Amino acid sequence: GASRLAAQGEPIRSFDHVAVPMRNTDAMVRFYRALGFTVNAGAQVCSVHFGDQKINFHQPVLWQRESFTLRAPAAEPPCGDFCFVWDGTTAALRNTLDRAGADVIEGPVDRTGGRNGGPASGTSH
């Protein structure tokens, strides 16, 4: 974790933000708002915020431009896998995902996470 990196003299302690391309801006904004995120929708980048975390979603007008180099060459929608920390109950999560229109494909199931030594439980949508 971050404390281990700091102890080893490594200066990286967290993400500032992550960025992924998106295809359907309206659907993405509706989904993240339904989950309770703060959404800032711009002409080229739509960002969602929770706590001190941020995800940038590059809109097609940006990521389809050949001159745009701030992405991996193969990064096209749908790509990305985000695992959020949920403090509520499983029932409350299911209700929130239902309201957001998410189809739960699998879960909750055990996963290897990045906190508390790795164990986590999650769903796939």
Residues 10-46 have pLDDT tens digits of 788 788 888 999 999 889 899 999 989 999 988 899 9
What average pLDDT does range 58-73 have in this prediction? 87
Name the pTM for this structure.
0.76
Quick one: pLDDT band at residue 80, thresholds 50, 70, 90? confident
DSSP H/E element including 105:
none
Q: What is the pLDDT of residue 113?
A: 78
For the chain, the average pLDDT equals 83
Q: What is the pLDDT of residue 49?
A: 94
Please choose, from the candidates 62, 81, 53, the residue with its C-alpha nearest in 3D space to the C-alpha of residue 21: 62
Question: Buried (b) or exposed (e) across 28-61, using 16+ Cβ within 10 A?
Answer: bbebbeebebebebeeebbbbeeeebbbbbbbee
Task: Please report, rounded to a whole number, the percentage of residues in the chain having pLDDT higher than 70.
Answer: 87
Domains of the chain: 15-77 (3.10.180.10), 83-125 (no CATH)
What average pLDDT does range 62-66 have in this prediction? 89
Q: What is the pLDDT of residue 116?
A: 74
60 in Cβ contact with 23 (< 8 Å)? yes
Residue pLDDT, tens place only, 98-116: 988 888 888 778 878 777 7
In the predicted model, is pLDDT for residue 75 greater than 90?
no
